[in-house]
Structure 1
Amino acid sequence: MNGGSGLTSLPLVSIPKDIRGAPPESFVVRLSKVIGCFKSLQKIACFWGCVVIELRRLWSEGLPVPWMPLDADPDLDSCLLHQQLQVINCCISRKLRQNAAIKSLDSVIREANLVNKVMVDSPDNSNSMRYAKLVSGQLVLRLGVDHLSENLTMLETGEPVYSPVTQEGPILTEEFIKETEELVLRTGSFGVGCSQLLSDMQAFKAANPGCVLEDFIRWHSPPDWSEMESTSEYNDSADGEGSSRRGRLSKRMLKEGNLWQELWKSAKPLPAVQQTPVFDEDLAVESIFTTLEDIPPSELLEQLFVSMLSSAFTIAEASISQDSHVSKIFYECKDWVFATCQNGISSDNIGDICKVYETVETIVTHPEEAITIMDQSEEAASEEPKSRFKRINLNFVKKDINLLRKKPPKDKKKSKEKQNHVFSQLFDAKSLFLKKQPKLWGGVSTSESELDVNDWEIVQI
Structure 2
Amino acid sequence: MLNEEVDDTEFFQQDFTTASEWEIFNARLEEIFHEWKLSYGLTENRGQLGRNQLSLCEWSILNEQIKFADVLLDVVRYKATIPEGEIQTGDNEKASECQAFVDLMANENDYCIVDQKAEGPLHPLAQWYGLREFVVVVPVKGSITNESQIRVLMSSVHIAVAESSCDVPVFVQVLEKVQNVFLGVCESGSIRLSFDTVHLNITPPTCKYLSGLLDVFKGKIAVPYLDPVAVSVRFTYSLSKFLNSSYVVPKIVPFSENNGNEDNFAHDREISLPFGVAIDPVSELILHCTWPHVADNVVIDSQTYSDFDPLTAPVWSLRARFEDTPVCYMAECIQEFLQTSDSKRAITEYFPELAYGVNQNIEGPKALERLTESKIPTISSMIPGISSVGGTTGRKETKLEGPLNDELLKDMLYYLFPDAQLDSLYVYVVPQPGQSEFDPLKIKSAHPDSLVHRLAMLLAMCNSYFGGKRAVAQLWVEFAQEMRYRVERCIQIPGIAAGFPDSRTCLLHQKLQMLNICMERRRIREGGLPFAMTGAGPVKSHELGHESEDEFFDCSDDERDQNESKRRHAAWNQPAGRLSKLGKMLLVDSDEPLYIPITQEPVPKTEDQLEDDAEVMLKLGPGSELCTQMMSASLLSDMESFKAANPAGKLDDFIRWYSPRDWIEEDADERDPFGRKGHLSSRMMIPGNTWQTVWENARPVPARRQRRLFDDAKEAEKVLHYFESRTIGQIAQLTMAPLFHSSIKILSSQAAVDAGLIPCFAENMDKIISACCKLSRENWVTGAPTPRGNSWVKYEALLSDITQQENLIIQVRSLRKKLFSEDVALTPDEQGALDNAAVERELLSQLLKAFECELDGAAKSTVAKRVLSMFTEAKKAANEQANEQTVALVSFMLADGAYICLPDPVEKQFTMRLGGQTVNKGLGSPQFMRAILTNNEFRLCGAFSQNTTFY
Aligned to 1:251: 682
Aligned letter for 2:511?
Q
* Aligned residues of 1:22 and 1:307 also touching (Cα < 8 A): yes
Aligned to 1:329: 761
- Which sections of structure 2, spanning at least 5 residues, go unmatched? 1-268, 270-416, 420-426, 528-541, 622-626, 776-789, 817-836, 852-869, 878-883, 885-951
* Aligned residues of 1:74 and 1:173 also touching (Cα < 8 A): yes
* Aligned residues of 2:525 and 2:547 also touching (Cα < 8 A): no
Aligned to 2:446: 22
Instruction: Tell me the distance in 2 between the aligned counterparts of 1:129 and 1:362.
Output: 76
The superposition leaves residues 16-60 of structure 1 with CA deviations (integer Å, 9 ceiling, x where unpaired) of 966532211111111123223323211221121111111011011
Compared with structure 1, are the counterparts of its residues 286 and 293 closer, same or farther at alpha carbon in structure 2 (3 Å cutoff)?
same
Aligned to 1:115: none
* Aligned residues of 1:320 and 1:327 also touching (Cα < 8 A): no
Q: What SS does the aligned partner of 1:152 have? A: strand
The superposition leaves residues 60-95 of structure 1 with CA deviations (integer Å, 9 ceiling, x where unpaired) of 11122111123x222323221111111111222233
Aligned to 1:283: 714
TM-aligned CA deviation for residue 131 of structure 1: 7.5
Select 1:344's aligned residue among 780, 791, 795.
Answer: 791
Instruction: Tell me the distance in 2 between the aligned counterparts of 1:137 and 1:157.
Output: 16
Instruction: Tell me the distance in 2 between the aligned counterparts of 1:34 and 1:353.
Output: 23
Normalised TM-score (structure 1): 0.66
Matched, 1:214 2:652: yes
Aligned to 1:89: 516
Normalised TM-score (structure 2): 0.34
Aligned letter for 2:469?
L
* Aligned residues of 2:768 and 2:798 also touching (Cα < 8 A): no
The superposition leaves residues 296-335 of structure 1 with CA deviations (integer Å, 9 ceiling, x where unpaired) of 2122123334313213424654784999555941440451
Compared with structure 1, are the counterparts of its residues 22 and 107 closer, same or farther at alpha carbon in structure 2 (3 Å cutoff)?
closer
Aligned to 1:225: 663
Aligned letter for 1:250?
S
Instruction: Tell me the distance in 1 between the aligned counterparts of 2:791 and 2:638.
Output: 43
Select 2:489's aligned residue among 61, 65, 68.
Answer: 61
Alignment of 1:27-176 (within 5 A): 27-38=451-462, 39=466, 40-70=468-498, 72-100=499-527, 107-109=549-551, 125-126=558-559, 128=561, 132=565, 141-176=574-609
Q: Which has the larger radius of gyration?
A: 2
Compared with structure 1, are the counterparts of its residues 82 and 137 closer, same or farther at alpha carbon in structure 2 (3 Å cutoff)?
closer
Aligned to 1:201: 639
Compared with structure 1, are the counterparts of its residues 285 and 373 closer, same or farther at alpha carbon in structure 2 (3 Å cutoff)?
farther
Instruction: Tell me the distance in 2 between the aligned counterparts of 1:249 and 1:332.
Output: 57
Instruction: Tell me the distance in 1 between the aligned counterparts of 2:429 and 2:560.
Output: 43
The superposition leaves residues 119-158 of structure 1 with CA deviations (integer Å, 9 ceiling, x where unpaired) of x9xx982574697357569896532222332132212222
Instruction: Tell me the distance in 2 between the aligned counterparts of 1:339 and 1:111.
Output: 52
Number of aligned residue pairs: 365
Instruction: Tell me the distance in 2 between the aligned counterparts of 1:130 and 1:322.
Output: 76
Q: What SS does the aligned partner of 2:594 have? A: strand
Aligned to 1:295: 726
Aligned to 1:375: 846
Compared with structure 1, are the counterparts of its residues 283 and 105 closer, same or farther at alpha carbon in structure 2 (3 Å cutoff)?
closer
Compared with structure 1, are the counterparts of its residues 171 and 229 closer, same or farther at alpha carbon in structure 2 (3 Å cutoff)?
same
Select 2:610's aligned residue among 169, 177, 196.
Answer: 177
Structure having the larger proportion of residues in strand: 2
Structure number with greater CO (CA < 8 Å, separation at least 6) is: 1
The superposition leaves residues 247-285 of structure 1 with CA deviations (integer Å, 9 ceiling, x where unpaired) of 211121121112111211221111222211222222222
Q: What SS does the aligned partner of 1:149 have? A: strand
* Aligned residues of 2:758 and 2:848 also touching (Cα < 8 A): no
Instruction: Tell me the distance in 2 between the aligned counterparts of 1:225 and 1:313.
Output: 52
TM-aligned CA deviation for residue 178 of structure 1: 1.2
The superposition leaves residues 169-223 of structure 1 with CA deviations (integer Å, 9 ceiling, x where unpaired) of 3323221221122112111224333000000001111222221111111000111
- Which sections of structure 1, spanning at least 5 residues, go unmatched? 113-119, 235-243, 381-398, 409-461
The superposition leaves residues 408-454 of structure 1 with CA deviations (integer Å, 9 ceiling, x where unpaired) of 9xxxxxxxxxxxxxxxxxxxxxxxxxxxxxxxxxxxxxxxxxxxxxx
Q: What SS does the aligned partner of 1:257 have? A: coil
Q: What SS does the aligned partner of 2:502 have? A: coil
> What RMSD in Å do the two structures reach over aligned CA positions?
4.4
TM-aligned CA deviation for residue 97 of structure 1: 3.6
Q: What SS does the aligned partner of 1:199 have? A: helix
* Aligned residues of 1:131 and 1:141 also touching (Cα < 8 A): no
Structure having the larger proportion of residues in helix: 1
The superposition leaves residues 370-421 of structure 1 with CA deviations (integer Å, 9 ceiling, x where unpaired) of 65664356559xxxxxxxxxxxxxxxxxx9xx9xx9xx9xxxxxxxxxxxxx
Instruction: Tell me the distance in 2 between the aligned counterparts of 1:180 and 1:356.
Output: 43
Q: What SS does the aligned partner of 1:107 have? A: coil
Instruction: Tell me the distance in 2 between the aligned counterparts of 1:281 and 1:360.
Output: 50
* Aligned residues of 1:202 and 1:271 also touching (Cα < 8 A): yes
